Each structure stands twice: as C-alpha cells, then as structure tokens.
C-alpha cells in the first residue's frame, strides 16, 4: 500500500490497525560511469515497496534528494545541505504525527544521509514535544540501511570480494539493473580505482576519485545478482520492521 496512491479515507482506515510507516530515502548523485544518478533512491524505493507488501505496511513517497554535497562536482548531482535535510525530515514526520503515525521506519540507500538522519530524529522528538502533539512521547524513528543488512553484505563479499568498494558498488548497481533492466549502462572502466581516501569538499572528492567510483568494480553487476540482493534485503528488513513495530 503506497501513501501517494491511497485516498485519505484509506489512510485513516490503515491507522486503525497500524501506526507504522515505511519511508524510503536515498539520494540523487553520481554513481560512476555506469551507475544511475538515481541509484540510492531507486534501491531504497524498490526495497521499501517489497517490505510494504510483505509486512502489509504503508509506504510513504520516496525522499529522492539527500545529503550529497561531496558529489556535486559531478554533473547531475542534486544535494540538500544537512540543515535543509533535517528540516525536511522534521516537517515530514511532524505532518504524519498529526495524522496519527508514531512509528517511522526509514529505509535508506545513501551513506551520506546517516549522520543527518540521526540528528534529524533528535530534532523531531524535541519539536514534537514542544508542539505538545498527541502521542508525541510515543514517536519513534529508525533508520535501516539496506546495504548494511548482514545477508546483503555477506552476498556482496561472496560475489565481489574487495571489488565491492564503498561507492558505485556492484551490489547497488546490480539492484538498479534488476529494477530497471532497460536502463543498464555500459562504459569503459579503468582497473585503477582509488579507495580509502578521505572525504572533504566536492572538488577535492573529484580530484581523489576522478570517475566517481570508490574502490568498486560495477562491471561485475548483473540483474540476476540484483534480484538476489533485493530478496535478501526485503526479507531482512521486513523482519526488522515488524520487530520495530512491536517495540514499546
């Protein structure tokens, strides 16, 4: 069940049985020569929809733009500042708390969002308390990074070893290939790809990582691998969502 494809009456009926909501969040940023710019949002959205179907949960509209300032030296990247993203999360959650939701399960596809999300959650709890909204003290927010699922990580290591890398990875590219098989990209990739360099500003990032990859070899990705990653992530995160709902 998707929020944007529902009526308000359907959402009101849903709230009679559950106050939980799955929220996909990703990024719109470069993913190397063969990775789609929407990779992080595509992955988060697909997995969230799978979790929604498996857990009979309502899935919110995807937050497609995240905190990706260090990628903005590559054309096509769109980023929010951390402070802006915090306000987006705060307003998003506040609106939904007013409707009656209390359990917010963010399925995240972008590592650069994590610190901002956790800070935003603290901001949300305080703002909701200050507004004295009904059930404000019962609101809980949780971030689950699909790429950090133990089953996903294990499979990535089995398939790709140290060529998984940490950005524009074959695992995330494989998942987008499964979701959008008509958008698979091909491009020459240098066997020399830097990894382990620090992350500072955007220009410095592009200097350190010229083609946008960070230790990864996305040429190893296949749609069949993507289906495996999808199934594992949906299974693991469905279990974690249901456990989150049952938590006091």
149 sits in the region (left: phi over 0; alpha: psi -120 to 50; else beta) called beta
Calpha distance 64→6 (Å, rounded)? 20
Q: Is residue 176 part of a domain?
A: yes
Question: pLDDT tens digits, residue range 4-19?
Answer: 999 999 999 999 999 9
Q: Is the pLDDT of residue 248 over 90?
A: no
58 neighbors 1 (Cβ within 8 angstroms): yes
Residue 56 DSSP code: T
Calpha distance 136→48 (Å, rounded)? 25
Residue 229's closest CA among 163, 165, 153, 167? 153
Confidence (pLDDT) at 82: 98
Phi and psi dihedrals of 186, rounded to 5?
-125, 140
User: Which residue, chain included where needed, has tokens 């993507």?
Assistant: 226
The per-residue b/e assignment along 26-50, b for 16 or more CB within 10 angstroms, e otherwise, is bbbbbbbbbbbbbbbbbbbbbbbbb
Confidence (pLDDT) at 217: 98
Phi and psi dihedrals of 25, rounded to 5?
-140, 135
Question: pLDDT tens digits, residue range 49-97?
Answer: 999 999 999 999 999 999 999 999 999 999 999 999 999 999 999 999 9
Query: Average pLDDT of 187-200?
Result: 95
CATH of residue 15's domain is 3.40.50.10310
Question: pLDDT tens digits, residue range 143-182?
Answer: 999 999 999 999 999 999 999 999 999 999 999 999 999 9
Confidence (pLDDT) at 46: 98
109 neighbors 25 (Cβ within 8 angstroms): yes
Domain count, the chain: 1
Can you give the residue range of the structural domain that contains 74? 3-243
Q: Is residue 180 part of a domain?
A: yes
Question: pLDDT tens digits, residue range 215-242?
Answer: 999 999 999 999 999 999 999 999 999 9
Q: Is the pLDDT of residue 202 over 90?
A: yes
Query: Average pLDDT of 184-209?
Result: 96
Average pLDDT of the chain? Answer: 98
Both tokens of residue 196?
A: 């382990």
- Kindly report the number of other CB atoms within 10 A of residue 81's CB atom: 11
End-to-end distance of the chain based on CA atoms, in angstroms? Answer: 24
Confidence (pLDDT) at 54: 98
209 neighbors 195 (Cβ within 8 angstroms): no
Query: What percent of the chain stands above pLDDT 90?
Result: 99
- Strand partners of residue 152: none
Q: Is residue 248 part of a domain?
A: no
Going along 13-152, which residue ranges are E strands?
Answer: 20-25, 58-59, 103-108, 140-145
Checking DSSP bridges between strand 140-145 and strand 58-59, what pairing results, if any? unpaired
Both tokens of residue 212?
A: 């946008």
Residue 173's closest CA among 219, 238, 136? 219
130 band by pLDDT with thresholds 50, 70 and 90: very high
């Amino acid at each position: 069940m998707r929020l944007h494809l529902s009526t308000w009456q359907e959402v009101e009926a849903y709230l009679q049985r559950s106050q939980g909501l799955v929220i996909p969040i990703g990024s719109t940023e470069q993913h190397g020569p063969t990775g789609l710019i929407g990779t992080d949002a595509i992955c988060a959205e697909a997995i969230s929809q799978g979790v929604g179907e498996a857990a009979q949960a309502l899935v919110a509209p995807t937050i497609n733009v995240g905190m990706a300032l260090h990628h903005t030296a590559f054309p096509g990247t769109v980023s929010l500042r951390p402070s802006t993203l915090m306000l987006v999360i705060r307003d998003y959650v506040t609106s939904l708390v007013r409707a009656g939701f209390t359990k917010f399960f963010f399925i995240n596809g972008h590592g650069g969002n994590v610190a901002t999300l956790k800070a935003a959650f603290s901001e949300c709890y305080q703002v909701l308390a200050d507004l004295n909204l009904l059930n404000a003290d019962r609101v809980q927010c949780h971030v689950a990074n699909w790429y950090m699922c133990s089953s996903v990580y294990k499979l990535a290591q089995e398939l790709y070893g140290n060529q998984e890398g940490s950005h524009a990875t074959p695992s995330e590219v494989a998942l987008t290939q499964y979701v959008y098989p008509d958008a698979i990209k091909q491009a020459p990739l240098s066997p020399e790809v830097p990894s382990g360099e620090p992350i500072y500003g955007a220009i410095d990032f592009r200097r350190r990582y010229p083609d946008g990859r960070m230790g990864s070899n996305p040429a190893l990705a296949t749609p069949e691998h993507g289906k495996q990653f999808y199934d594992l992530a949906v299974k693991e995160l469905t279990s974690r969502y249901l456990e989150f709902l049952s938590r006091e």
